[in-house]
């Protein structure tokens, strides 16, 4: 039997992270937060002073090596998932807007995306996987039985993000966040490699005016049907 896979793709702030974690818990499946991989790679390249030099062939080669050998661990704790990079807890750091920017830069470079593919495939194991990202259905797991595309208006995503950052004790201005979201959407949707777009057979949900519970119920109804096929 092939591993059951549910993919959730969509722009940042659509609620993917929360919903993917809830779905994984509901089905008892593993969880892949692929955005975290891009964030970790962005942070690592920044720390190695390579992020601004990616158009240099040598620097790119070095960066690919770093991507392939990235020392990362996802540890489940009662508070959520703890993320370690080279043994250091970077769970909070990788969620900052700054590191989101690093990730978006990294994500636009084909050689770096390619270097993360095997690592993502390795998450697909029994009893199943919920994979959260931008290209989960279109590129990494096209064989997934259930493919969800979760979107929401840029404004509603910005206001959710501000609340999330404030909840983490971080300062946030809605106009800055909205501008960031719009710029990142544009970059993610217009890049030539694995652009953000729904798979042809994706189930599209717009969460702008829906609660987490409402979105969750729509997802479970759909996934139950698809996984039973």
Contact footprint for ligand DC (CB under 6 A) = 12, 34-35, 38-39, 100, 103-104, 107, 133-135, 184, 188
Question: Is 11 annotated as ligand-binding?
Answer: yes
Q: Is 17 annotated as a binding residue?
A: yes
Mark 92-130 as b/e (b = at least 16 C-beta within 10 Å): eebbeeebbbbbbbbbbbeebbebbeebbeebbeeebbb
CB of 13 to ligand DC, least distance (A): 8
Least distance in angstroms from the C-beta of 18 to ligand DC: 12
Which residue, 29 or 38, is less far from ligand DC as judged by CB?
38
Q: How far is the CB of 35 from ligand DC (least distance, A)?
A: 2
Structure tokens that stand for 163 in this block: 């609340």
| CB nearer to ligand DC: pick between 94 and 228 | 94
Write out the two tokens for 63: 């960066």
Give the ranges where 51-199 is alpha helix by DSSP (H): 57-69, 97-107, 110-115, 117-121, 154-167, 174-190
Query: Which of 22/134 has CB closer to ligand DC?
Result: 134
The two structure tokens encoding residue 40? 């970790």
Q: Is 10 annotated as a binding residue?
A: yes
CA distance 108 to 131: 20
> Nearest to residue 201, comparing CAs of 226, 229, 228?
226
Minimum distance, C-beta of residue 163 to ligand DC, in the bound complex (Å): 16
Our CB check for ligand DC shows the closer of 100 and 128 to be: 100
Q: Which residues are annotated as a binding site?
A: 10-18
């Amino acid at each position: 039997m092939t591993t059951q896979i549910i993919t959730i793709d969509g722009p940042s702030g659509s609620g993917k992270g929360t919903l993917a974690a809830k779905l994984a818990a509901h089905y008892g499946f593993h969880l892949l937060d692929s955005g975290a991989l891009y964030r970790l790679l962005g942070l690592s390249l920044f720390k190695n002073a390579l992020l601004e030099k990616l158009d240099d062939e040598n620097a790119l080669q070095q960066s690919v090596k770093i991507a392939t050998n990235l020392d990362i661990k996802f540890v489940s704790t009662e508070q959520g998932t703890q993320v370690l990079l080279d043994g250091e807890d970077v769970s909070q750091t990788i969620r900052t807007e700054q590191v989101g920017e690093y990730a978006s830069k990294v994500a636009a470079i084909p050689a770096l995306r390619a270097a993360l593919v095997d690592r993502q495939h390795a998450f697909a194991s029994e009893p199943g996987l919920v994979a959260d990202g931008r290209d989960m259905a279109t590129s990494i797991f096209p064989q997934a039985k259930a493919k969800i595309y979760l979107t929401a208006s840029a404004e509603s995503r910005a206001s959710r993000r501000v609340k999330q950052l404030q909840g983490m004790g971080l300062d946030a201005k809605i106009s800055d966040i909205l501008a960031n979201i719009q710029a990142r959407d544009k970059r993610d949707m217009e890049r030539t490699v694995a652009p953000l777009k729904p798979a042809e057979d994706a189930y599209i949900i717009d969460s702008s005016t829906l609660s987490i519970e409402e979105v969750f119920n729509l997802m479970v109804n759909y996934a139950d049907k698809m996984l039973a096929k």
